[in-house]
């Protein structure tokens, strides 16, 4: 086998269709776009247009609303922390903060911080400082001999008028 003898399997690479190269090619003149009109032009995508029929997004009823002020928390589970202790990423008795969890890649903090949830089991003693925690998570950490300090959520600065 020599470098100049290397070749793809037959049919592995398909040449692109060269359009607009004469009437005999079968893709000449209009280049497969038909005649005239908006859709024959490049860069046109008429999303949701149904040819004059009332589009489905207008036929269906709307429900609910989006709360603009909803808090967005990242999540870290007790099982994740126990796995990190078992792997040696966290030491038992360590002070665990949001910054430490982000640094170790254990949780991705959202805009309003991190929340500790009770999924999984924690056997290691950890002192955790976190934005929020469920009651069950706090109980599980304290049962293992650790402590949870819940910080105030990250609040946006308000201007005094």
Domains in the chain, CATH or no CATH each: 74-150 (3.100.10.10)
Work out whether strand 132-133 and strand 114-117 pair parallel, antiparallel, or are unpaired: parallel
Q: Give the pLDDT score at 159.
A: 61
Q: Give the pLDDT score at 41.
A: 87
Q: Give the pLDDT score at 155.
A: 57
> Could you identify the residue written with the tokens 């793809």?
8
CA-CA-CA-CA dihedral for 88, 107, 141, 130, to nearest 10:
120
Q: Give the pLDDT score at 51.
A: 82
Q: Give the pLDDT score at 156.
A: 58
Work out whether strand 127-130 and strand 147-150 pair parallel, antiparallel, or are unpaired: parallel
Q: Give the pLDDT score at 138.
A: 93
Question: How many whole angstroms separate alpha carbon 65 and alpha carbon 43?
Answer: 33
Tens-of-pLDDT digits for all 161 residues of the chain? 899 999 999 999 999 999 999 999 999 999 988 889 888 888 888 888 888 899 999 999 999 999 999 989 999 999 999 999 998 888 888 899 988 888 888 888 788 889 999 999 999 899 999 999 999 999 999 999 999 999 876 555 556 55
Helices (H), strands (E): how many in the chain? 4, 6
Q: Give the pLDDT score at 157.
A: 54
Main-chain dihedrals φ then ψ at residue 24, nearest 5 degrees: -70, -15
Q: Give the pLDDT score at 93.
A: 84
């Amino acid at each position: 086998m020599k470098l100049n003898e290397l070749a793809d399997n037959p049919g592995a690479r398909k040449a692109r269709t060269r359009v607009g190269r004469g009437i005999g090619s079968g893709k000449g003149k209009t280049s497969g776009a038909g005649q005239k009109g908006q859709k024959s032009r490049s860069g046109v995508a008429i999303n949701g247009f149904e040819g004059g029929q009332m589009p489905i997004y207008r036929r269906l009823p709307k429900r609910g609303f989006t709360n603009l002020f909803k808090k967005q928390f990242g999540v870290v589970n007790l099982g994740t922390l126990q796995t990190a202790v078992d792997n040696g990423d966290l030491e038992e008795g360590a002070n665990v903060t949001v910054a430490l969890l982000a640094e170790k890649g254990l949780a991705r903090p959202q805009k309003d911080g991190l929340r500790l949830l009770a999924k999984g089991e924690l056997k290691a003693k950890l002192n955790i400082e976190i934005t929020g925690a469920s009651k069950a998570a706090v109980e599980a950490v304290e049962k293992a001999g650790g402590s949870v300090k819940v910080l105030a959520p990250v609040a946006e600065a308000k201007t005094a008028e």
